[in-house]
Structure 1
Amino acid sequence: MTYAASVIVHTDYAGDGLAEAALAPTPLEQVRRWVDAARRRQAERGDVPEPTALSVATVDAAGAPDVRTVLMRFLDARGPGFVSDLRSAKGAEIAATGGVAAALTWPAMYRAVRFRGRAVELGRDEVAEYFAGRPWGSRISAWASHQSSPVADRAALEAAYDRYAALYPDTGSAADVPLPGHWGGWRIDCTEVELWAGRRNRLHDRLVYVRVESGDLADAAAWEVTRRQP
């Protein structure tokens, strides 16, 4: 059997790059700058859908890697955070190893941010506050779906949704759907935050905040900046 040759398409990245002189003094400020820029770009041009889409990588107890995309729901000095069913595959893998890496990627802007560190479970008060602000249907689905577990078919999933919708009808109140005990999330306590900026001839810029002291993402003294080869 013969196969047709693959068509190779090469794009020379025409990004502005990132120089040390332009880098913010803290990882938090720099990441916020880029997230805000991605949101503005989406609002103006529409070519950065889901600016806070976060690819989260974990490994299981046997060392096998896994990755999935969630939304970054938190970003402050403690690190980026996301929510999920704690019983999910990511929940089991985080519980087994604690290690996590994540990335924000904006291809239209030739930019990406990489986070590496340890997962820290969100406090229940913080989870409850966030959960109450979700749309009613999203809160119902948190009850209906046992994330990552097999399901017989689409009809079974929708039937579970209908059961919980009847149990917790939409009253327009943030309290009409209680917080499930299995629903929560994590922040990434970062050891590295890398800013990647695509440039021509594959000579991309990679500037990395590396933790050298205790402190959070807003503490400039806790981080040292290094440049890595592309």
Structure 2
Amino acid sequence: MEPPTEHPIDLAAMRVGYGAADTAGADGVAQHLDPAWLTGDPPWLDLFGRWLTEAMAAKIPEPNAMVVGTVAPSGRPSTRTVLCKGASASGITFFTGYESAKGLALAANPFASLTFPWIALERQVHFRGRVRKVDAEVTQAYWESRPRGSQISAFSSAQSQPIADRAELEAVAARTAQRFGGVAGDEPIPVPPNWGGYVVDVDYAEFWQGRADRLHNRVRAVRGSDGWTIDRLQP
């Protein structure tokens, strides 16, 4: 077998320095992340909310962006970035096409992983859990909150299906807009029949804090039949 062609960028030599062990790092926290930080019911929700608020304050681009991992019917995993649109004791919510690649994967294997990569703050949060569709009224309420242009795009798109070119995609969107009175019109655009929300019922939550010399902090909460177990993981 031929050796792989060397990439012009020396990826192996790339290094990112995280906060020193005894001083505040980029996350602005001198204290080490500790299992005691996970409190409440569920124990992940309060800390996640605080970290999300701090990511917003730090002007992290798209702070509610998360990497969603699913497993297709073939058994192959896939990831993509999706926007989180809800976080509560019930779980983490996002919206997409039910017949998209991720929707078909979730229909076959109703479990997902979610990762919020706030690397600029030396933080990540990772969730796992069973996935279910949200109630229709939840989807409707969120749909009505979306900008009209986003509604037109979602209604126009057969998500994850091939299309000839950009011009055809824009033409489909233009026809949708015309059908409902134009981009600036006021005729309501209905929720597409195969579009809606999912909620991930979190049973695994892990918080990561970058530390010096890659001796990072990881704490997790795992839900079992007797409630939540909270502990520290080695990096």
Q: Give the structure 1 partner of residue 35 of structure 2.
A: 20
Counterpart selection for 2:207 from 188, 195, 216: 195
Unaligned ranges ≥5, structure 2: 20-24
Q: Following TM superposition, by how much is the alpha carbon of 1:61 offset from its aligned partner in structure 2, in angstroms? A: 1.1
Task: Provide TM-score, normalisation by structure 2.
Answer: 0.87
Q: Deviations over 1:167-219 (max 9, x none)?
A: 1124665x6111111110211111101011111111111110110247xxxxx
Unaligned ranges ≥5, structure 1: 43-47, 215-221
Q: Deviations over 1:26-74 (max 9, x none)?
A: 21111111111111111xxxxx100000100001112101000010011
Letter in 2 for 1:146: A
Does residue 207 (structure 1) correspond to residue 212 (structure 2)? The answer is: no
Counterpart selection for 2:178 from 133, 141, 166: 166
Does residue 80 (structure 1) correspond to residue 92 (structure 2)? The answer is: yes
Task: Provide TM-score, normalisation by structure 1.
Answer: 0.89
1:77-226, aligned counterparts within 5 Å? 77-169=89-181, 170=183, 173=186, 176-213=188-225, 222-226=227-231
1:12-91, aligned counterparts within 5 Å? 12-14=17-19, 15=25, 16=29, 17-25=32-40, 26-42=43-59, 48-91=60-103
Letter in 1 for 2:216: H
What's the C-alpha RMSD, in Å, of the aligned pairs? 1.8
Q: Deviations over 1:106-164 (max 9, x none)?
A: 01100011011111111110000000010000001111111100000001100100000
Does residue 6 (structure 1) correspond to residue 10 (structure 2)? The answer is: yes
State the SS of the aligned residue for 2:115. strand
State the SS of the aligned residue for 1:210. strand
Letter in 2 for 1:13: Y
Letter in 1 for 2:35: E
Q: Give the structure 2 partner of residue 228 of structure 1.
A: 233
Letter in 2 for 1:37: E
Instruction: Give the number of aligned pairs.
Output: 217
Q: Distance in 1 between matches of 2:35 and 2:110?
A: 32
Give the direction of change, closer, same or farther, for the CA distance of 1:36–1:10 in structure 2 (3 Å limit): same
Letter in 2 for 1:160: V
Letter in 1 for 2:46: E
Letter in 2 for 1:18: L
State the SS of the aligned residue for 1:69. strand
Q: Distance in 2 between matches of 1:194 and 1:146?
A: 34
State the SS of the aligned residue for 2:58. helix
